[in-house]
Chains A and B, each alone.
Chain A
Amino acid sequence: DVVMTQSPLSLPVTLGQPASISCRSSQSLVHSDGNTYLNWFQQRPGQSPRRLIYKVSNRDSGVPDRFSGSGSGTDFTLKISRVEAEDVGVYYCMQGTHWPPLTFGGGTKVEIK
Chain B
Amino acid sequence: QVQLVESGGGVVQPGRSLRLSCAASGFTFSSYGVHWVRQAPGKGLEWVAVISHDGSNWYYADSVEGRFTISRDNPKNTLYLQMNSLRAEDTAVYYCAKDGDWGSRMDVWGQGTTVTVSS
Contacts and interface: CB of A to CB of B under 8 A. Distances in A.
Instruction: Bin the interface of chain B by size.
Output: 20 to 34
Interface residues of A, number: 27
Interface in B99-118: 100, 102-112
Nearest to A58: B104
A50 B111 CA distance: 10
Given A50-B109, A100-B60, A100-B61, A39 B104 contact: yes
A14 B14 CA distance: 45
Interface in A96-113: 96, 99-107
Interface string B66-106: 00000000000000000000000000000101001011111
Interface of B: 35, 37, 44-47, 50, 59-62, 95, 97, 100, 102-112
Interface of A: 33, 35, 37, 39, 41, 43, 48-51, 54-55, 58, 60, 90, 92, 94, 96, 99-107
